[in-house]
Chains A and B, each alone.
Chain A
Amino acid sequence: MSTFIKDYIERETISRRNFLLATAAGLTSAAIPGAFGGGAAMADAGGWALAWSYRDRASAYWNAIVSGGEAYTESLGLKKDAMTNLINEGSSEKSLADIKAFLAKNNGKAAIACDANDSPNARPVAEAVKKAGGYISTIWNKTDDLHPWDIGDNYVAHISWSGEKPSEEAANILIKAMGGEGAIVHLGGIPANIPAIERLNGLKNAIKKNPKVQLLDSQPADWDTTKAAALMSNYLTKYGNKIKGVHCANDNMAYGVLQALKAEGINLPVTAFDGNPEAVDMVMKGELLATVFTNPHWGGGIALGLAHQAALGKFKPSEEPKAHREFYGPSILVTKADADAFKKKYLDSTPKYDWSDRWGLSAGQIEYK
């Protein structure tokens, strides 16, 4: 298609969208695109279509990621449904197919944020976006040998969250609550998942530094509440009252652990990971010792924001240092002492982020071992 026709169609689509928006708002003139937004932001994302590609809406985590993407979209003066949700339902094939379809529909003028579902899928996704001329940021899943700077400006950035250090911090709090000695059991995520491995490593690091503490057992409960409840009760049979503390790789499993303990009338210190609202409530009540918050709202917003701002030419990815192309998102340890303040700041009302502060919350460049 010649650029002339492409531009013409684009212009027409844009003005039609403005017209529809204006009609919906009851305005008579379609000539004021900024009327719905805050000031300078264009009501059409500068000609770029926005999308978030992720697993599903069945968890608080992904909902928070999406809310971030929507907050970014609204910051452009658009309605939040101007961002398209591409839900892959845990299928890498669907993830890639959806993204290709979205690129084709928008003639490549798309800014996409994506969790590729599994690591090997990140490369075909990034290459498809580059070929079509779109822009993409990824989170979580990517193979170690794939780097945004090798693909080019179209692969803007990759964000991950290091599980090791915060998990170690949570373990230290657990060990402290145990009086610096005794045995710990760990409930892990799906064994091959990178966060599951990192969170267990964090615990192991903490135990290395505390010779009086030992790791009794670590088994996967696949991030699942029901499986975790069964696993915890099996641990109780195997180890009885040798267990002095429980370290869980996520919040959902900690809920199951607490119920298994409740059934037996046993009180043990338990730590979790993810910082979901329910878990923070439990920390406030003292049922959980600690959880780790990874600010998925910010992660979801900035991943989309980076792709879109690069598309608009607000910054050129290849001119940025590597620490801006591959970086860790923030992790905040939530304990009883700070749970109240944390809840007020992050959960009761979502903080408003300045999305032009692109790396403000970065926790440093991703390290490979």
Chain B
Amino acid sequence: MNRFLTRENLLKWAPLLVLIALIAFFSIINPNFLSVRNFARLFTNASPALMVAIGVTFIILMGSIDLSMEGAVSALAVIFCYVLLWLGGTVAGLGVLAIPAILLLGALVGAVNGLIHVHLRIPSFMSSLAMGFVGTGAAILMTGGNIVKINDEIFRALLTERVFGFPLMVYVALFFLIVGSVILSHTRIGRNFYAVGGGEDLAHASGVNVKRVRVWAFALAGFYFSVAALLQVAKLGQAESVTGSNLMFISITSVVVGGVALWGGIGGVWNALVGVLIVAVINNGMIVIGIPDFIQDGVLGIMVIIAVILSTDRRTVAFVK
């Protein structure tokens, strides 16, 4: 028994325990919370944020940060809608090409982001934030402040068609979650993310091309941002210059709450999943049990701090900055 109840194990599973405790708490107060329909709603709303959180996990694992998600998702969503409309407006025809096009573009944008960070030697915090602004600006420029609507029922089936009670987009998110997990645990590039995050000098001395690893990570993050953009369009049937708004707060919070260490080297995409679910459950649960709206933000903030206290091993960190 003691073998399982080590401090290390507890810390590793703490975010999941927090999530289970939250679900139990809200379910006791309002039984409606624990229903397939509610979980379908929760997962549907959380899917785009989950994709962004996974994308940024790759970066945070290296001890860097990517803050370009809001602008990137807005711009990619808008471009996707325009390309889809230009190719006939339905994924039943040529329009289906818009999907690989936007995934590729997302990876390219991410790679550019990474190249700027690595080769111009700008801290990732600053370079990615700046790229995010470029993305928002591009989205405003393209739309002129208007909304681009997608009425293709086949593409929207991602939201409207259900399997086992969950919309198709939830399965798409699940698929990319597993892909992310495989990348981290079964590929060299994935292991290199940990190596760079655990100790960049050591990784470099061991022959890892740190610069290339970094650019790959940003490209991968960009790819996941484009998946988020697709899911966001599937969910809302439209894109505009604010489609990516609020994704920065929720994704970074989720990743940290889920137990990915901001100083790098610790965590993975499953932590991101648990983190996104914790934040989504708190948000959903507060409304379901009827907490007054003016204290919801405050409660969310306090719960985030508690979750971080429970789920990160701050004893191993010499100092916090």
Residues of A near any B CB (own CB < 8 A): 56-60, 62-63, 191, 217, 219-220, 224-227, 229-231, 233-238, 240, 255-256, 259-260, 262-265, 276-278
Contacts and interface: CB of A to CB of B under 8 A. Distances in A.
B20 to A, nearest CB: 19
Nearest to A225: B236
Given A58-B145, A63-B144, A234 B160 contact: no
B8 interface: no
B241 A263 contact: no
Contact of B44 (A60, A238, A263, A265): A263
A281 to B, nearest CB: 9
B211 interface: no
Given A57-B145, A60-B147, A263-B159, A229 B236 contact: yes
A171 B217 CA distance: 51
A109 to B, nearest CB: 30
A179 B35 CA distance: 30
Nearest to A277: B146
Nearest to B38: A237
A235 B241 CA distance: 27
A238 B243 contact: no
A224 B242 contact: yes
Nearest to B232: A226
A66 B30 CA distance: 48
Contacts of B159: 259, 262-263
Interface in B202-237: 232, 235-237
B246 A237 contact: no
A234 B39 CA distance: 10
Contact of B246 (A227, A238, A262, A264): A227
B181 interface: no
B160 A63 contact: no
B45 A237 contact: no
A220 B287 contact: no
Interface string B279-319: 00001100110100110000000000000000000000000
A238 B291 CA distance: 12
Contacts of B42: 233
B236 A259 contact: yes
Nearest to A192: B294
B146 A60 contact: yes
Contact of B32 (A238, A260, A276): A238
Nearest to B236: A259
Contacts of B236: 225-226, 229, 255-256, 259
B140 interface: yes
Contact of B294 (A63, A191, A217): A191
A158 to B, nearest CB: 25
A237 B33 contact: yes
Nearest to B39: A237
A238 B283 CA distance: 13
14 contacts: A57-B140, A63-B146, A191-B293, A191-B294, A224-B242, A225-B236, A234-B287, A235-B287, A238-B288, A255-B236, A262-B159, A262-B160, A263-B159, A278-B147
**Most B CB atoms within 10 A — which of A58, A235, A255, A264?**
A58
A240 B284 contact: no
Contacts of B240: 58, 225
Given A226-B246, A255-B238, A238 B290 contact: yes
A343 B156 CA distance: 27
Contacts of B288: 234, 237-238
B247 to A, nearest CB: 9
A278 B45 CA distance: 23
Nearest to A282: B149
B41 A234 contact: yes
B245 interface: yes
Given A59-B145, A235-B287, A220 B245 contact: no
B295 to A, nearest CB: 12
Contacts of A278: 147, 149
Interface string B16-55: 0000000000000010110101100110110000000000
A265 B145 CA distance: 30
B19 to A, nearest CB: 18
Interface string B133-164: 00000001000111101000000100110000
B268 interface: no
B167 interface: yes
A62 B145 contact: yes
**Most B CB atoms within 10 A — which of A227, A229, A235, A259?**
A259
**Most A CB atoms within 10 A — which of B232, B237, B287, B288?**
B287
Nearest to A255: B238
Contacts of A238: 30, 32, 287-288, 290
**Most A CB atoms within 10 A — which of B45, B140, B294?**
B45
